[in-house]
Structure 1
Amino acid sequence: MAKQTKKRQAQGETVDREKLYGVDEAIALVKQNATAKFDETVELAMNLGVDPRHADQMVRGVVSLPKGTGKDVRVAVFARGDKADEATKAGAEVVGAEDLMQEMQDGRSDFDRVIATPDMMGVVGRLGKVLGPKGLMPNPKLGTVTPNVGEAVKAAKSGQVEFRVEKAGIVHAGIGKASFPEADIRANFDAFIDAIVKAKPTGAKGKFVKKVALTSSMGPGVKVALEEIPGA
């Protein structure tokens, strides 16, 4: 067993790994233990009562966090002509068509979100093996295949977060930075929880939200009491 650092031991003394904390207390503990030399991301993880191997139990969607993520999101857009200009004006870092497809096939990956106009999906479709495993493939249901590329770029940069449940029934996302005020983290927490509960699939049986935990990039996990989670 790896030896704990003094810092990790000190963090462990402030958090009871078995206790279920109220949301506000959990947020305060996460901020208290975010002592790295960089602005740590506050991460929310949820264990859901679903088996995503079944199509009717998939949990996937997008949510706009009211206080933003604190992250500089780089956006790539597949578009031509006026739509390409619209994407550039909205702040997209990378805009292109077949040329961009070739760059991605050659390994370019300096982006966090990929958006495409509907007419470009014939080109983007060739990148399934490149973008699919990274969860970056544009999808109409997520608003990343749209004629309104300018709005989509602005949404991606202003705090929109995509979520997708993993094989073990876990969904997680960054909901802000440790430097955020506690009230801002709470607002983002509530928005993300609400989006997950509303995305409950028809095939989900029994208890939907099983566990919720908060942590920072380098800090200990803090379990959250489900009594404060609507729909849990």
Structure 2
Amino acid sequence: MDTKDYRSKLQAEMTDNATYMEVNEDRTKTIEKKVKKMADDMCKKGSISKDLKGYLTSSVGTSGKLQGNPKLHKTGVPLRTIVNGRNHPTEKMAEIVEMELRAHVTSLPSYIKDTTDFLRKLENIKQPLPAGTILFCLDVKALYPSVPRAEARDAVARALNQRANPSIPTEDVLNMMDTVLENNTISFDGRKFTQTEGTAIGSRLGMNYASTYLGSWESQQINFRLSISGMLMTFGAFGFTVSSR
């Protein structure tokens, strides 16, 4: 792709999208201080260990770097915005939140680890399928940036409260998640942006965060059953197999 076209398409994605807002200053140092204070407070009250506190505050400190992944299958070859969050002050908090949600996501009825896992599940369904059975897959457009934060926070809170042996209190995990989402700063071509909705494609806070929200949405919107006996199969391929197109 021509460099000029690449930059132009990325700029269009950032300026014509309600998900992002251009800002005038680099907030990296301010975010670093916020993360350090939060980690220090959690450590003092015993929510996290000194080692984890050190890990959370060990980033060098830089804003996310914007990249574009060409969607070759679409007309005009639009770009998928991907944020390289390496060394962002909040990225290690994002990692911890994802870890705390992992067990919940893998326990979702519609969870699929990979293609092999999907084929293995199909083997357990009685064949032939009952007349009228429909196999389908739902795809969410721009999944990560489209996740509504208020609804997702409620879903995450419920999931965290169901943990059998929580290593970090729910409220502290939620505060870390909020810090990640509210301070997702991005730089590109000399301009600076912040993400105002959803989460960034490329951030460590993404896969389990989005899957937790979708699992909650699914339970509310779809009469979902996965029957080993094969009486009924209505399969929504969420979890790790949901693509962000």
TM-score range, shorter chain: under 0.3
Normalized per residue, the structure richer in helix is 2
TM-score using structure 1 length = 0.27
Normalized per residue, the structure richer in strand is 1
